[in-house]
């Protein structure tokens, strides 16, 4: 799976945060208000180009039965992250060493959540557990 550029990431973040499919114009307006473009006004054609690239990467689907077309993420942010992690692990010889290094870099709260998931099974996980002293919460949430 190809990595995302800054603008692709910003568009995906907007789509992941939205409960409804979005038009290129609504995404352009949201990008302008988010400050991710350092005050630069994006052309809607630029956003359409980014959406076309994301569609080619199978990250976005286009609703063709509406005009203007609407776009939505194919998978959740979490599912995308899992795919990236699985791809990264699939390309190494010593997965255990990589996992050990990864675990060495997580917070106490994240380690506790990992232990709980390993004991209870992933189907019983209710979502991200946050250690209030460690990392910041995902956008739109407080730690």
Cis bond before residue 46 (omega within 30° of 0) = no
Q: How is domain 6-73 classified at the CATH fold level?
A: Arc Repressor Mutant, subunit A (1.10.10)
Q: What angle do CA 67, 7, 50 make, to 5 degrees?
A: 40
Q: What angle do CA 34, 4, 44 make, to 5 degrees?
A: 50
Distances in whole angstroms, Cα of residue 13 to Cα of each of 60, 73, 104, 114, 124: 12, 9, 27, 25, 26
Q: What is the pTM of this model?
A: 0.74
Cβ neighbourhood burial of 28 (10 Å; 0-12, 13-18, 19+): buried
| Domain range summary for the chain, segments of one domain joined by + | 6-73, 77-124
SS3 content of the chain, % helix, strand, coil (to 5): 55, 5, 40
Mean pLDDT on 99-113 = 91
Whether residue 1 is predicted with pLDDT greater than 80 in this model: the reply is no
Q: How confident is the model at residue 138 (pLDDT cuts 50, 70, 90)?
A: very low
CA contacts within 13 A on the Cβ side of 35 = 0
Residue 38 φ/ψ region, left for φ over 0, alpha for ψ in the -120 to 50 degree band, beta for the rest: left
Question: What pLDDT digit, counting tens, does each position of 13-37 carry?
Answer: 999 999 999 999 999 999 998 876 6
Mean pLDDT on 26-54 = 88
């Amino acid at each position: 799976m190809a990595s995302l550029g800054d603008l692709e990431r910003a568009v995906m973040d907007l789509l992941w945060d939205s409960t409804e499919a979005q038009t290129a114009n609504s995404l352009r307006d949201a990008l302008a208000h988010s400050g991710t473009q350092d005050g630069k006004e994006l052309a809607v054609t630029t956003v359409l180009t980014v959406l076309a690239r994301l569609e080619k990467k199978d990250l976005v689907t286009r609703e063709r039965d509406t005009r203007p077309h609407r776009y939505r993420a194919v998978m959740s942010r979490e599912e995308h992250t899992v795919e990236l992690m699985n791809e990264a692990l699939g390309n190494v010889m010593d997965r255990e060493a990589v996992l050990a290094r990864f675990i060495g870099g997580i917070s106490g709260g994240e380690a506790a959540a990992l232990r709980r998931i390993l004991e209870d099974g992933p189907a019983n996980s209710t979502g991200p557990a946050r250690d209030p002293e460690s990392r910041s919460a995902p956008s739109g949430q407080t730690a």
